[in-house]
Amino acid sequence: MSQETILQLSTAILFLPLLGFLLLIFFNKRLPRQGDWLETGLLFLSLILAVAVFAAKLGGYHDEVLQTKFTWVDWGNVPGIGPLKLELGIMVDNLAAIMMLVVTIVSSLVHLFSIGYMHGDVRYGRYFAYLGIFTFSMLGIVLTNNFFMMYVFWELVGLSSYLLIGHWFEKKSASDAAKKAFVVNRVGDIGMFTGIMILFANFHTFTFDDIFGAIQSGAIPFGSEPWLTVAGILIFAGAVGKSAQFPLHVWLPDAMEGPTPVSALIHAATMVAAGVYLVARTFAMMTADALIFIAYIGAFTALISATIAIAQNDIKKVLAYSTVSQLGYMVMGLGVGAYTAGFFHLTTHAMFKAGLFLGSGSVIHAMHHALHHAGDHHTDPQDIRYMGGLKSKMPVTFWTFLIYTLAISGVPFTSGFLSKDEILAGTLAFSSLQGHVLIPLIAFFVAGLTAFYMFRLVIIVFLGEHRDAHRINEIHESPWTMTVPLIIFALLSFFAFYSLNPFGAASGWFYEAIKRPLSVVPGSVAAPSTSLFDEALHHSHTTAMVLSLTVAGLGILIAFATYYWKKIDADHVAERFKWLHTALSNKWYVDEVYEFVFVGGTKGLARLYAWFDNRVIDGLVNGTASWTRAITLGTRQNWEEGNLGAVLYMVVGGAISIYVGWLVGAALMPLDPTPGQMIWNGLLGIGTAGLTFFLFYVGVGGFDNKIVDGLVNATAYVAGFIGLLTRRVQTGKVQTYLAFVILGVMIFYLYFH
Amino acid sequence: MEFLGIGILTWITFLPIVGMIAVLIVPKENQSGLKWIPLVITGIQVVLAGMIYAGFNKSMAGINTLEGMQFVEKARWIDIQGVPWFGRIVVEYFLGVDGLSISMVLLTALISFIAVIASWNIDKALKGYMAMLLLLDTGMMGVFVALDFFLFYVFWEVMLLPMYFLIGIWGGPRREYAAIKFFLYTLLGSVLMLLAMIALYFSVTVVDPATGEKIYTFNMLAMMDPANYEPGSLLAGVGTYWRYLAYVALFIGFAIKVPIFPFHTWLPDAHVEAPTAISVILAGILLKMGTYGLLRISFPMFPDAANYFVVPLAVLALINIVYGALCAMAQKDFKKLIAYSSISHMGVVLLGMSAMNTQGMVGAVFQMFNHGTITAMLFLIVGVIYDRAHTRDLDAFGGLALTMPKYTGVMTVAFFAALGLPGLSGFISEAFSFLGAFQTHRMITILSTLGIVLTAAYMLWTLQRVFLGQPNEKWAGLPDINGRELFALVPLAVIVIALGVYPSLMIDLMTSSLNHLVEVVKAGGTMAMVP
């Protein structure tokens, strides 16, 4: 297969799901079965092409980067820069080829699963359309060769995520969750956008290669290394949002309001992994400081979400926090420099976590039907406290679920063992080179926690007795469209697909294909080099393996002791550490704090501004009107009554005020004013003139009480003023204003000519 | 390009006047005639605009050179000798388009056409309404094609009165208040502009090719050339107080139209009271006249002052963006919310302009066009629901996605375009404005990006309140969007998507001119630094 063919096929893979979206969004009602076959078929076609591209790329062009680009916007010959273009394009390297395969595998299997799971849904066709646009956007992220397209597709996956979380928008909780996901992601996105702005402002290009090339040749943003670190961290902010890292992790658990297959596809396997992919893509430009920052964010995220997962009772919430935790793991892996391991974990995690979610979907599906059959609309079909003993009724679901759980816990012979072990070894190597002992400590602790809460889930859901003896008879295994994906994902959770050696991935094809890119940042701010890191990694491997097996074994053991053999009373422990348990089941109160500070704060500020706008600014406007009216009416009345002294007083007062204002403004103005001084002093001059006139106006009270009355009743005049003016306008008095304008202009003219 | 010996710009500008006369002749009872004449007229205008688009040479820059202007029509309009105080007054009928105005000409034709469709169910004094609408159309088009300041000013004022009546007679309950507020505000702006114009007039002289004598001129291109300023005249020199003052006066005049904080409070009132079609025009075209004026007149004529006041301009842009977004968030009236969102989105235009570089300027001018189409959609959408439910209370709805699915589909495009979703036109112009501005004003631009989050928040919150959730029993019987309404909305949606996917369709038109504009402004700015 030639390079061109690979690129063309990749483009086809990108656009096939979009085609499905376009057809389904407009015609789903008119297509048989609302077009599910069409979108699913297109996806399997994409999958076949992706396999072909994967094989051709890794087989034929193993170490090459295939790229193609075109000019999308041409700014022409820009003053100060020269010809400037915005080029878009796609790039297929090993990273992209593997990621493309991961995305199409998970997406096509989720499509298949959805046919069973979403059967009879109100918006069945629309659901498949949304899956299509999601897959398109996700593949866009994978294939882009520049930051601009990255941002474009970054937001587009946000859109599809919004649409799919809010699929059942009749439920307030669903539409709330969708909105939250979009807005929280946007917070991260503006960080990423700012990072892109820094790069563009300096390099006038968005293309990865050009930017990295420029940095490598010594051109760093604004000529200072801290800016390079800042740019890296800001780009990473996008990943913090999308991959649900602390402090923007709050949207992901809520996103479980969406249909479960969506959770598997978007909120477990692919979209949330986009952040990790982004860090991998931009790894070369990350300084040592930026990487340490990334490592800490990842570690902290892994820790807090793993602790929260222990205390959740909703099957999807447990998996959601587990996802956040595992994403933290990947991010931490990249941060410590274990580049390949981080991306490897993304790949293996995509398979077993998609499987876990689909498995939970199978369980929820069965529970839902059983509850529905029993006429029970109150029991939550996702609450694990109502489950138990499902093993015998749903054997396929149970055994596959168990395999995924073994994988995520890092038990040997699974894919998870391979990737997790590499990350753990990476943290040890990192800390031996750069210190930061906290990171490996957290990493191993979280490994144990993961094994514990995952086995807690398996035991409570599948083992023991079912909570309701009648209901268990109504529980059935899911149809083949749902079990087939489960079996495939279970197969993909074994080591053999990634490395023939079950105890080390380093010799497998994956490690061969994905190599840590060379850093382009100046040596003084770069992380320890790849060779140094590999050296340290070599020494920490055995330690890491022994430790990881120990903590995983401990976690599983404690889970069984607590929930299966009941040697440890979970309730008693919870009672003992009540504060901790409360904090955990309330997710460390992060949501509450955000709700109060950010949501409440913004709404409060919005109300304050609206009040300010309505009362102060518009009050000034209306006030000016009523003042003008009071003054002119009063003056006219004086004129009509022959009180010429008062009229003269006002006219002279007006003239003097303007003169005083002018003098003050001019006196305050320095010889060579800055724009700020000019505006400020100008305003002071105008203010002085106004104040002076006000004094005249108050002074007039001495010989004309009527005007003072007018002042007192100024507010009451507003309404009358409007009525009066409009009455006059209707009788054709608008010309009066024009006449005044012309008069004013004439005075101006006479003065200057 | 000429038809019947008359240039295409004259046709496109004065065709609505022909339509207005026709409307005035048609008897009041002939309701369908009164609707179809404006529709056909504005339809022809769209065709003419299409021809201008097709015949436009993208490589010609324009701005301050006559040779760079296209479709030029130039004739002596007024030439009076011996006017008391003024002497000889020469005003030229001088029309032309370049990359700065072409997008606005297209927008005006398009939005006017859409506005006529949106006016279909006006039943109060239809004849007067349509006549006013067409007159307004001429005024707006004229502003964008005039290259003589006096002519520009005439069109500017021509537009003012019909707008006043359209709000004041066909508006909502507080229409009189809103109309007079709009009128007085705009009049204040006009006065300031007039003062600056007169000051410019008496400073700039050109040689009259006919007689060889030096005459004062309103020619905008002449006003952009520092060599034409009479030594010792009020606005001669570089970076003088008088020039700054004239710039500020012009700026306030245009700022009221944009509207820029703190001159914006007429806008929410005018929008809330105006009928749907008028809101569409107001937001779609009128607001752009402010920013267009700044780019066409203030920047190239006062490059020194424009550079001098560039930071305050960026600060005002920031205020518009964030303040407008926060005010929008607090609104309970659907239409008022959209009105405040306009303030926020016009802030993006200002930010792009304040960048003083091509990326930002392209973003700004493109955002002017995109805001025109997107906000037009938003106001049409509010109009659809108001026509049916007779309320705009955001909390009175809910679940409309179930009762009005097609309507919800169109709405989704508009809302996501407004919050700057990639793939839709608004994103590109916003992104370019920010990218450009960041090179000039780092901190201000970073703060402005807050607007991106706030806009997403209030837009999605609105969407949720009105369209999602359980359907409100009260509105169960609301009919979905009808063919006429779709006919107004779908072309806009298509444009928004097309320009989002391939923005070069529009951007290619403007790059030559804007590159040249940036050069002119930068050159003028450098002169100011070397006194």
HEC per residue, B362-403:
HHHHHHHHHHHHHHHHHHHHHHHHHHHHCCCEHHHCCCHHHH
In a domain, B117, yes or no: yes
Only one residue has tokens 């469709």, namely B117
Min mean pLDDT across B1-5, B115-119, B244-248, B372-376 is at B1-5
Instruction: Answer whether residue A739 shows pLDDT above 80.
Output: no
pTM of the model: 0.91
Q: How far is CA A241 from CA A251, A296, B474, in A?
A: 9, 16, 39
Instruction: Answer whether residue A138 shows pLDDT above 90.
Output: yes
Instruction: Read off the amino acid at residue B490.
Output: V
Decide if B522 and A190 are in contact by the 8 Å CB cutoff. Answer: no
Task: Give the model's pLDDT for residue A294.
Answer: 94
Task: Give the model's pLDDT for residue A161.
Answer: 93
Instruction: Answer whether residue A731 shows pLDDT above 80.
Output: no
What residues of chain B lie within 8 A of the CB of A744, using their CB?
Answer: 191
Looking at chain B, how many residues does it have? Answer: 531
- The residues that bridge with A321 in the sheet, in sequence order, are none
Q: How far is CA B252 from CA A752, B187, B246, in A?
A: 21, 11, 10
Instruction: Answer whether residue A707 shows pLDDT above 80.
Output: no
Burial class (CB in 10 A: 0-12, 13-18, 19+), A523: exposed
pLDDT tens for B162-174 read 998 999 888 888 8
Task: Give the model's pLDDT for residue A720.
Answer: 53
Let me know: does A210 contact A199? Beta carbons within 8 Å.
no
Task: Give the model's pLDDT for residue B435.
Answer: 94
Decide if A610 and B327 are in contact by the 8 Å CB cutoff. Answer: yes
- Which residues have CB under 8 Å from A406's CB, separation 6+? A414, A416, A493
Number of H helices, E strands in chain B: 23, 6
Q: What does the DSSP assignment read for A601-632?
A: HHHHHHHHHHHIIIIIIHHHHHHHHHHHHHHH
Question: Distance (Å, rounded) from C-alpha A548 to C-alpha A225?
Answer: 37
Decide if B438 and A201 are in contact by the 8 Å CB cutoff. Answer: yes
Task: Give the model's pLDDT for residue B112.
Answer: 95
Choose among A179, A606, A726: nearest Cβ to B460. Answer: A179
What residues of chain B lie within 8 A of the CB of A72, using their CB?
Answer: 502-504
Task: Give the model's pLDDT for residue A35.
Answer: 81
Instruction: Answer whether residue B261 shows pLDDT above 80.
Output: yes
Decide if B311 and A675 are in contact by the 8 Å CB cutoff. Answer: yes
Least Cα distance to B112 among B510, B486, B492 occurs for B492
Let me know: does A175 contact B468? Beta carbons within 8 Å.
yes
- Chain B CA closest to residue A182: B456
- Chain B CA closest to residue A743: B191
Q: Under DSSP, is residue A136 helix (H, G, I), strand (E, B) or coil?
A: helix
- Chain A CA closest to residue B405: A123
Least Cα distance to A324 among A229, A249, A247 occurs for A249
First to last CA, chain B: 45
pLDDT tens for A76-105 read 888 888 899 999 999 999 999 999 999 999
Decide if A752 and B326 are in contact by the 8 Å CB cutoff. Answer: no
Instruction: Answer whether residue B279 shows pLDDT above 50.
Output: yes
Instruction: Read off the amino acid at residue A291.
Output: L
Decide if A610 and B357 are in contact by the 8 Å CB cutoff. Answer: no
What residues of chain A lie within 8 A of the CB of B450, using their CB?
Answer: 190
Task: Provide mean pLDDT across the span B505-522.
Answer: 92
Choose among A75, A169, A609: nearest Cβ to B358. Answer: A75
Distance from CA of A610 to the nearest CA of B (A): 5
Distance from CA of A189 to the nearest CA of B (A): 9
- Which residues have CB under 8 Å from A743's CB, separation 6+? none
In a domain, B448, yes or no: yes
Chain A 74-113, residues with CB within 8 Å of chain B CB atoms: 74-81, 84
Decide if A676 and B312 are in contact by the 8 Å CB cutoff. Answer: yes
Q: Touching check for A175 and chain B: CB below 8 Å?
A: yes
Least Cα distance to B284 among B337, B355, B345 occurs for B345
Instruction: Answer whether residue B337 shows pLDDT above 90.
Output: yes
Burial A639-657 (b: 16+ CB within 10 A, else e): eeeebeebbebbeebbeeb
Question: Distance (Å, rounded) from C-alpha A680 to C-alpha B315?
Answer: 14
- Domain range for residue B107? 2-526
Distance from CA of B5 to the nearest CA of A (A): 35
- Chain B CA closest to residue A607: B330
Question: Distance (Å, rounded) from C-alpha A97 to C-alpha A90?
Answer: 12
Distance from CA of A10 to the nearest CA of B (A): 19
Q: Touching check for A496 and chain B: CB below 8 Å?
A: no
Task: Give the model's pLDDT for residue A62.
Answer: 86
Percentage of chain A lying above the pLDDT 70 cut: 93
Instruction: Answer whether residue A435 shows pLDDT above 90.
Output: no
Phi, psi of A395 (to 5 degrees): -65, -45
Distance from CA of B211 to the nearest CA of A (A): 24
Least Cα distance to A457 among A396, A408, A393, A395 occurs for A408
Instruction: Answer whether residue B397 shows pLDDT above 80.
Output: yes
Least Cα distance to A701 among A714, A712, A688, A690 occurs for A712
In a domain, B470, yes or no: yes
Element (H, E) at A67: strand A66-78
Task: Provide mean pLDDT across the span A619-632.
Answer: 80
The structure tokens listed for A373 are 């059959």
Q: Under DSSP, is residue B80 helix (H, G, I), strand (E, B) or coil?
A: strand
In a domain, B77, yes or no: yes
Decide if A73 and B504 are in contact by the 8 Å CB cutoff. Answer: yes
Question: Distance (Å, rounded) from C-alpha A348 to C-alpha A492?
Answer: 8
Question: Distance (Å, rounded) from C-alpha A284 to C-alpha A280?
Answer: 8
Burial B471-504 (b: 16+ CB within 10 A, else e): bbeebeebeebeeebbebbebbbebbeebbeebe
Percentage of chain A lying above the pLDDT 90 cut: 43
How many Cα atoms occupy the beta-carbon half-sphere of A193 within 13 Å? 33
Task: Give the model's pLDDT for residue A681.
Answer: 84
pLDDT tens for B38-60 read 999 999 999 999 999 999 999 88
What residues of chain B lie within 8 A of the CB of A617, using their CB?
Answer: 262, 264-265
Distance from CA of B45 to the nearest CA of A (A): 29
Instruction: Read off the amino acid at residue B11.
Output: W
Least Cα distance to B270 among B184, B210, B347 occurs for B184
Only one residue has tokens 């055995």, namely A542
What residues of chain B lie within 8 A of the CB of A741, using their CB?
Answer: 187, 190-191, 194
Task: Provide mean pLDDT across the span A381-387.
Answer: 86
- Which residues have CB under 8 Å from A656's CB, separation 6+? A692, A696
Which ipTM score applies to this complex? 0.93
Choose among A76, A729, A749: nearest Cβ to B515. Answer: A76
Task: Give the model's pLDDT for residue B473.
Answer: 82
Instruction: Answer whether residue A746 shows pLDDT above 90.
Output: no
- Chain B CA closest to residue A196: B435
- Chain A CA closest to residue B87: A753
Higher pLDDT, A202 or A707: A202
In a domain, B531, yes or no: no
In a domain, B47, yes or no: yes
- The residues that bridge with B94 in the sheet, in sequence order, are B74
pLDDT tens for A150-176 read 999 999 999 999 999 999 998 889 999
Task: Give the model's pLDDT for residue A728.
Answer: 46
Instruction: Read off the amino acid at residue B76.
Output: R
Number of structural domains (chain B) is 1
**A-B Cβ pairs (cutoff 8 Å, strict):** 186
Taking each helix axis as running N to C, give the angle between helix B175-201 and helix A734-752, from 0 to 180 degrees, rounded to the nearest 10.
20
> What radius of gyration do chain B's Cα atoms show?
22
The Cβ of residue A476 has, within 10 Å, a number of other Cβ atoms equal to 12
pLDDT tens for B213-256 read 888 889 999 899 888 888 888 888 888 888 888 999 999 999 99
In a domain, B224, yes or no: yes
Average pLDDT, chain A: 86
Least Cα distance to A643 among A703, A691, A584 occurs for A703
Decide if B327 and A609 are in contact by the 8 Å CB cutoff. Answer: yes
Instruction: Answer whether residue B498 shows pLDDT above 70.
Output: yes
User: Dihedral through CA B507, CA B508, CA B510, CA B516, nearest 10?
Assistant: 130
Looking at chain A, how many residues does it have? Answer: 753
Instruction: Read off the amino acid at residue B402.
Output: L
Chain A 675-704, residues with CB within 8 Å of chain B CB atoms: 675-676, 678-679, 682
Task: Provide mean pLDDT across the span A680-707.
Answer: 72
pLDDT-based confidence at residue A716 (cuts at 50, 70, 90): very low
The structure tokens listed for B113 are 């056409």
Burial class (CB in 10 A: 0-12, 13-18, 19+), A685: buried
Decide if B460 and A183 are in contact by the 8 Å CB cutoff. Answer: yes
Q: Touching check for A598 and chain B: CB below 8 Å?
A: no
Higher pLDDT, A475 or B367: B367
Q: How far is CA A535 from CA A15, A78, A530, A531, in A?
A: 43, 49, 8, 6
pLDDT tens for A204-224 read 999 999 999 999 898 888 888
Q: How far is CA A186 from CA A193, A240, A326, A445, B420, in A?
A: 10, 11, 22, 32, 11
Q: Touching check for A597 and chain B: CB below 8 Å?
A: no
Q: Return the HEC string of A681-708.
A: HHHHHHHHHHHHHHHHHHHHHHCCHHHH
pLDDT-based confidence at residue A300 (cuts at 50, 70, 90): very high
pLDDT tens for A562-582 read 888 888 888 888 888 888 888
Least Cα distance to A504 among A408, A422, A414, A406 occurs for A422
Task: Give the model's pLDDT for residue A744.
Answer: 65
The structure tokens listed for B343 are 């303030």
Least Cα distance to A16 among A95, A131, A102, A94 occurs for A131
Task: Provide mean pLDDT across the span B348-365.
Answer: 94
In a domain, B476, yes or no: yes
Task: Give the model's pLDDT for residue A699.
Answer: 66
Decide if A748 and B461 are in contact by the 8 Å CB cutoff. Answer: no
Higher pLDDT, B447 or A749: B447
Let me know: does B250 contact B298? Beta carbons within 8 Å.
yes
Task: Give the model's pLDDT for residue A753.
Answer: 52
pLDDT-based confidence at residue B20 (cuts at 50, 70, 90): very high
Task: Give the model's pLDDT for residue A730.
Answer: 44
Task: Give the model's pLDDT for residue A635.
Answer: 76
DSSP state of B229: B
CA B101 to chain CA centroid, Å, is: 10
- Alpha helices by DSSP H, A374-472: 395-409, 415-434, 438-462
First to last CA, chain A: 81
Distance from CA of B387 to the nearest CA of A (A): 25
Let me know: does A493 contact A384? Beta carbons within 8 Å.
no
